[in-house]
Amino acid sequence: MQAAVRWTGWDRQGLDHCLLRRDAEGLCLEGLVVCGGDSRAPALRYRVQTDARFRTREVTLACVGGPELRLIGDGAGDWHDGRTGAPLPTLDGCLDVDIAATPATNSLPILRLGLGAGESAEILAAYLPLPERADAPIRPSAARQRYTCLRPGRFRYEALTSGFTAEFAADGDALVEDYPEAFRRLPA
């Protein structure tokens, strides 16, 4: 199965083009984000690969013309730098990745957790913030999050450290439709 989607910022600036491929071996999200507004904000390429149980196994995030980050996970919460092989103990316990520049990565815990209506789960995700400039390093950190299935296709996301909360709809492929105040899905 394959699906291509595009989102823009809530303010209608910027563009995220994402291709989702899913088969018996797992899911692959691959995309390009061009941020709107500030011309100093980097454009990003991302690729996320999961195993068959939707546990994130490999992540590549690259600023166009700038640094690239590659993370390799074992699916059980241990991570290492994909370039140097160095362990990344600050990401211990993370089974998912959350790339701040795209709503695509919200699909990962939705699929992995398989929550039913009224069910909720707390997770630890490897959070990848958007760098301030194309030449700035990408600094991953562990982030406590909670996902709640409000009803089929409707979810609440909570960033437990910052207190940020949002409700959003997801389609049958678990791809976010509109993410209020952050992303709008463009018509196919």
Range of the domain at 78: 2-185
Identify the pLDDT of residue 35: 81
Domain count, the chain: 1
What is the rounded CA–CA span in Å between residue 130 and residue 182?
Answer: 14
The pLDDT value recorded for residue 54 is 96
Mean pLDDT by 10 residues, the chain (188 residues): 94 93 96 79 92 97 90 97 96 96 96 97 95 81 98 97 94 93 91
pLDDT of residue 37: 66
Q: Give the SS3 label for residue 108.
A: helix
